[in-house]
């Protein structure tokens, strides 16, 4: 899966979690850009991402990324690792 | 040693003078020595022994959980259980003992053991000062090391400075290692005129809030709370409003002094307040009030609980039972995880049901109820055709948030939970709006001049908050001419000295948040 595809899928998950179909995040989007992105929604977002991509994020990853781009890179790293690259 | 008296001022001057004379690589050493001196001053030897034991045990374990130690998971579990147990036993054993005895008494069981009482008194006496701050900083540090968020600090001196930097000991902010590593150890801190002026500015502003405003609010609050049966009706919400103002000016004033003091050393501490009264909901309010405690609970309590195996199983169970979008209607796992977090927030503020309820579970209930009723409120505003995108609606939400917060906080000030409820019952005994028009306000301990000073000072705080909302107060000040700026400093300094409230019972040391 390419990083653009991951970003698109992350956007779909975000629309679902934040209950807002108009969300179109980019790699530069940060939590404060999205009204409902608080700690509770963040946890649900992480949980949905783990389910949809079938990966398991560590605590430092859940708390660590500073924008959507870093989240996409983290997901990409997990997918690559699981595919044995 | 309080941070608002002559003794501290002399100590600070000496520490600063030597600090800037030293080469960069010795500056942190000097700060560590000074912080330990500050801690040891007025602390009895057995409390010091408990402090050092806590510090050293955690340091040893931080090395174990970082290395490729075979049993690092077990070591981490052990140290976290140890820290929590030590924290709870030292700080809250008296509360838990009394509460258990009370509860058992209701079922007719007498729990009155002399040896338990002795053990509780011993633990209470042993409890080192400032544990609510350095204790939680250390627990957070251990988690960060274990999760791989930071590299362990192998130098015990540097580790001691991070956990016990003297300005933060009495009241926070609750710092994390990743925030502070560069601030403490990166390079030589050179004397900077700008930073010194900025630091002094913050200190004067904090002292103004504490001495001129909080001191006067306390007179009104103490008078009504101390004798609430004589003050029925609207006096009760008045006391709640002034206690909120007292706590805000006291705690944020203290934070200004602490952050300003660190700035004198060219060290930047995280902010603890971000215009809390501009919040439009309780959850937003708590993201703006005591920010570092909220962040700590989010990172080290809420996240680990929600992401634990038990909660993941609960999440799956809820999805299977109520469908994949169950959390849009009733998000059980989140509510449970938040319950634990809010219980801890309440308990952290003090061992008493009034704290656990007022600044803990009451706030949790408000957040959960607003989340459950969110769709209902949306439909209602739609049905009533209320414009939610205008100033008046935002103002309504801000006032609503303030009232809810002030109500919860009123229990914080009450003797206990029952007294808190009894006090609110007094409100409904009389409807007396005339107290604001006749001379009743002058019977609360402040005369006409004192009231004028209090209200004008509160107005200044509102004005400064408004400037902050528009941008930065400091940037706004820096744009002004030197003479104007000097005028403001002289005004604030003089006002603090002349109008500072130094009643008979006055004690500059007694910051509300300084006692945790």
Task: Please calculate the CA angle B320-B312-B363 and round it to the nearest 5 degrees.
Answer: 100
Q: How far apart are CA B155 and CA B18, in angstroms?
A: 22
> Of B436, B434, B437, B414, whose CA–CA distance to B426 is shortest?
B414
Would you say residue A83 has pLDDT above 80?
A: no
Would you say residue B505 has pLDDT above 60?
A: no
Q: How far apart are CA B238 and CA B426, in angstroms?
A: 12
| Chain A: closest CA distance from residue B290 (Å) | 16
* Cβ distance of A60 and B338 shorter than 8 Å: no
Q: How far apart are CA B506 and CA B502, in angstroms?
A: 5
Maximum average pLDDT range among A32-36, B56-60, B93-97, B424-428: B56-60
What is the pLDDT confidence band of residue A84, given thresholds at 50, 70 and 90? low
Q: How far apart are CA B316 and CA B365, in angstroms?
A: 24
Helix (H) or strand (E) run with residue B159 in it: helix B156-164
What is the pLDDT confidence band of residue B512, given thresholds at 50, 70 and 90? low
Q: How far apart are CA B291 and CA B250, in angstroms?
A: 16
What is the pLDDT confidence band of residue B137, given thresholds at 50, 70 and 90? very high
Higher pLDDT, A19 or B37: B37
| Chain B: closest CA distance from residue A17 (Å) | 9
* Cβ distance of B307 and A58 shorter than 8 Å: no
Q: Is A60 on the interface with B (CB under 8 A)?
A: yes
Predicted confidence at residue B95, as pLDDT, reads 83
What is the pLDDT confidence band of residue B319, given thresholds at 50, 70 and 90? confident
SS3 of residue B320 by DSSP:
helix
Higher pLDDT, B510 or B351: B351
User: What chain A residue is nearest to B315 in terms of C-alpha separation?
Assistant: A47
Contacts of A46 in chain B (CB under 8 A): 307
* Cβ distance of A60 and B148 shorter than 8 Å: yes
| Chain A: closest CA distance from residue B443 (Å) | 45
Predicted confidence at residue B480, as pLDDT, reads 83
Q: What are the backbone angles phi and psi of residue B273, rounded to the nearest 5°?
A: -135, 140
SS3 of residue B273 by DSSP:
strand
Q: What is the mean pLDDT of residues B399-415?
A: 90
Would you say residue B509 has pLDDT above 60?
A: no
Complex-level ipTM: 0.84
| Chain B: closest CA distance from residue A39 (Å) | 7
SS3 of residue B289 by DSSP:
strand
Q: How far apart are CA B252 and CA B327, in angstroms?
A: 36
Contacts of A58 in chain B (CB under 8 A): 147-148
Q: Is A55 on the interface with B (CB under 8 A)?
A: no
Q: Is A59 on the interface with B (CB under 8 A)?
A: yes
Q: What is the largest CA-CA distance in chain B?
A: 75
Q: Radius of gyration over alpha carbons of chain B, in Å?
A: 25
Higher pLDDT, B138 or A53: B138
> Of B60, B241, B222, B78, whose CA–CA distance to B153 is shortest?
B60
Predicted confidence at residue B495, as pLDDT, reads 82
Contacts of A43 in chain B (CB under 8 A): 302-303, 306-307, 334, 337
> Of B371, B354, B389, B11, whose CA–CA distance to B167 is shortest?
B11
What is the pLDDT confidence band of residue B513, given thresholds at 50, 70 and 90? low
Would you say residue B24 has pLDDT above 80?
A: yes
Predicted confidence at residue B516, as pLDDT, reads 53
Would you say residue B271 has pLDDT above 90?
A: yes
Q: What is the mean pLDDT of residues B291-296?
A: 92
CB B309 within 8 A of CB B254: no
CB B199 within 8 A of CB B260: yes
A38-70 confidence digits (pLDDT tens): 888 888 888 889 888 888 888 888 888 888 899
Q: What is the mean pLDDT of residues B149-162?
A: 93
Q: What is the mean pLDDT of residues B70-87?
A: 92
Within 8 A by CB and 6+ apart from B266, the residues are B189, B190, B191, B192, B195
Percentage of residues of chain B with pLDDT beyond 90: 41
Predicted confidence at residue B206, as pLDDT, reads 92
Would you say residue B1 has pLDDT above 70?
A: no
Nearest-CB residue to A44 (from B149, B304, B327): B327
B444-474 confidence digits (pLDDT tens): 888 888 889 899 999 999 998 888 888 788 8
Would you say residue B515 has pLDDT above 70?
A: no
> Of B375, B150, B136, B315, whose CA–CA distance to A40 is shortest?
B315
Q: Is A56 on the interface with B (CB under 8 A)?
A: no
Interface test mutation site (partner A, options B291, B303, B312, B378, max chain A beta carbons within 10 A)? B303
B179-235 confidence digits (pLDDT tens): 999 888 887 888 888 888 889 989 999 999 988 899 889 999 998 988 888 888 888
Nearest-CB residue to B298 (from A39, A47, A60): A39
């Amino acid at each position: 899966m390419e990083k653009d595809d991951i970003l698109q899928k992350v956007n779909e998950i975000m629309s679902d979690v934040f209950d807002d179909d108009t969300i179109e995040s980019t790699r530069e989007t940060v939590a404060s850009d999205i009204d409902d992105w608080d700690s509770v929604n963040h946890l649900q977002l992480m949980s949905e991402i783990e389910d949809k991509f079938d990966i398991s994020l560590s605590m430092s990853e859940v708390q660590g990324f500073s924008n959507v781009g870093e989240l996409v890179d983290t997901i990409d790293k997990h997918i690559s690792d699981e595919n044995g690259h | 040693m309080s941070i608002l008296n002559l003794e501290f001022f002399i100590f600070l001057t000496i520490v600063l003078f030597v600090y800037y004379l030293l080469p960069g690589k010795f500056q942190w050493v000097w700060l560590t020595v000074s912080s330990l001196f500050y801690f040891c001053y007025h602390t009895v030897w057995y409390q010091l022994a408990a402090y050092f034991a806590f510090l050293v045990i955690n340091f040893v374990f931080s090395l174990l959980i970082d290395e490729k130690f075979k049993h690092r998971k077990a070591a981490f579990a052990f140290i976290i259980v140890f820290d929590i147990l030590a924290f709870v036993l030292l700080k809250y054993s008296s509360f838990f003992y009394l509460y258990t005895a009370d509860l058992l008494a209701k079922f007719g069981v007498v729990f009155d053991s002399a040896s338990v009482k002795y053990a509780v008194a011993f633990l209470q006496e042993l409890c080192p000062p400032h544990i609510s701050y350095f204790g939680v900083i250390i627990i957070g540090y251990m988690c960060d090391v274990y999760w791989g968020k930071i590299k362990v600090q192998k130098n015990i001196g540097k580790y001691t400075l991070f956990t016990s930097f003297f300005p933060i000991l009495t009241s926070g902010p609750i710092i994390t290692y990743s925030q502070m590593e560069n601030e403490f150890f990166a390079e030589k801190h050179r004397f900077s005129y700008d930073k010194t002026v900025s630091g002094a500015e913050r200190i004067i502003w904090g002292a103004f809030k504490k001495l001129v405003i909080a001191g006067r609010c306390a007179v009104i609050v103490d008078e009504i709370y101390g004798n609430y049966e004589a003050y029925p009706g609207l006096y009760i919400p008045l006391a709640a409003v002034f206690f909120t103002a007292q706590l805000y000016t006291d705690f944020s004033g203290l934070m200004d002094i602490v952050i300003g003091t660190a700035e004198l050393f060219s060290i930047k501490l995280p902010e603890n307040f971000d215009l809390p009264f501009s919040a439009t909901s309780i959850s937003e309010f708590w993201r703006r009030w005591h920010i570092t405690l909220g962040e700590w609970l989010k990172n080290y309590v809420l996240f680990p609980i929600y992401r634990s195996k038990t909660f993941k199983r609960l999440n799956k169970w809820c999805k299977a039972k109520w469908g994949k979008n169950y959390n849009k209607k009733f998000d059980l796992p989140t509510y449970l995880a938040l319950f634990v977090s809010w219980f801890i927030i309440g308990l952290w503020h003090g061992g008493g049901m009034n704290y656990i309820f007022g600044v803990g579970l009451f706030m949790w209930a408000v957040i959960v109820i607003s989340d459950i009723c969110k769709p209902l409120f949306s439909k209602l505003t739609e049905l009533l055709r209320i414009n939610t995108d205008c100033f008046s609606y935002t103002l309504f939400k801000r006032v609503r948030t303030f009232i809810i917060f002030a109500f919860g906080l009123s229990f914080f000030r009450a003797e206990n939970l029952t007294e808190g409820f009894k006090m609110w019952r007094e409100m409904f005994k009389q409807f007396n709006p005339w107290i604001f028009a006749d001379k009743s306000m002058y019977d609360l301990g402040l005369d006409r001049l004192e009231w004028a000073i209090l209200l004008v000072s509160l107005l200044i705080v509102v004005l400064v908050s408004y400037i902050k909302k528009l941008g930065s107060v400091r940037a706004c000040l820096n744009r002004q001419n030197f003479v104007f700026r000097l005028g403001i400093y002289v005004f604030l300094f003089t006002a603090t000295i002349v109008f500072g409230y130094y009643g008979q019972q006055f004690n500059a040391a007694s910051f509300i948040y300084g006692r945790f």
